[in-house]
Amino acid sequence: MQSTAAFSDDSLNPAVRGFLHSPADPNGQALVLTHGAGANCSAPLLVALAETFAEKGYMVLRCDLPFRQERPTGPPFPGKAERDRAGLRNAIATLRKSITGRIFLGGHSYGGRQATMLCADLCAEEPELVSGLLLLSYPLHPPRKPEQLRVQHLPNLRTPSLFVHGTRDPFGSIEEMKKALQLVPAKTELMEVEAAGHDLGFRGKLQKQQLPATIRSNFERMFA
């Protein structure tokens, strides 16, 4: 049976803090999951995904980005996104101490965007740092502002990526996402979640309970 425990590594700067899901039957691989701008690592979608992946043998670290460690509520600090990316890099480094297999990186909205930017920045110097990305509701542009595209780094993203996106996400339509993914030179797949918004159906009691298993199935097929 898998176990979940609070986790912290304050030897690194930024520190790594969150929850570690340890599988009953490890497969030697790991997944780092982080949250969006208005949430933390205990968001219901992240918890459900962590439990679902741990059932299949993945070590999963749900971590709070540095901005969330510094204050319990509120959006990311303007101009400090680089520190949030450093926090993700440290989370990977922490897992690498005990994981010999592949390490994947995933995030919802802002967290996913920072993950893509980290991998795009490190593609030349550390191409093997992350084996793949799991991107939940990538925030392609602010709601009702389709001209403000967040795609500048995508041509440098050489990490295979699975994008999971709701068909009613105001941060980017499915057609807009398909066009944006054409900029990525790495392998990409787009998993559409019918009638879901930016929360992918995980809000209050309206949780799509079958979604985590479907995401894991598509993920494992892509990264087999």
Q: What is the pLDDT of residues 117-138, one digit of tens each?
A: 999 998 667 778 899 999 999 9
pLDDT at 205 over 90: no
Tell me how crowded residue 211 is: count the other CB atoms within 10 A of its CB. 20
Say if residues 8 and 15 touch (Cβ distance below 8 Å): yes
Q: What is the DSSP letter of 186?
A: S
Report pLDDT digits (tens) over 190-200. 999 999 999 99
**What's the rounded mean pLDDT across residues 203-211?**
69
Given a cut of 90, whether residue 187 has pLDDT beyond it is: yes
The pLDDT of residue 207 is above 70: no
What is the per-residue pLDDT for 128? 81
- Tell me what pLDDT residue 137 has: 98
pLDDT at 127: 73
Q: What is the pLDDT of residue 125?
A: 76
Closest CA to 99 of 29, 37, 49: 29
What pLDDT was estimated at residue 171? 98
130 in Cβ contact with 52 (< 8 Å): no
> Out of 20-24, 101-105, 123-127, which region has the weakest mean confidence (pLDDT)?
123-127
Which pLDDT belongs to residue 10? 95
Mean pLDDT of all residues belonging to the chain: 95
Asked if residues 23 and 2 have their Cβ atoms less than 8 Å apart, the reply is yes
56 burial type by CB count under 10 A (0-12 exposed, 13-18 middle, 19+ buried): middle
Question: Number of H helices and number of E strands within the chain?
Answer: 6, 8
- CA–CA distances in Å: residue 148 to residues 15, 189, 190: 32, 23, 21
For the full predicted model, state whether its pTM sits above 0.85: yes
pLDDT (tens digit per residue) in 46-55: 999 999 999 9
Domains of the chain: 3-222 (3.40.50.1820)
Per-residue pLDDT at 204 exceeds 80: no
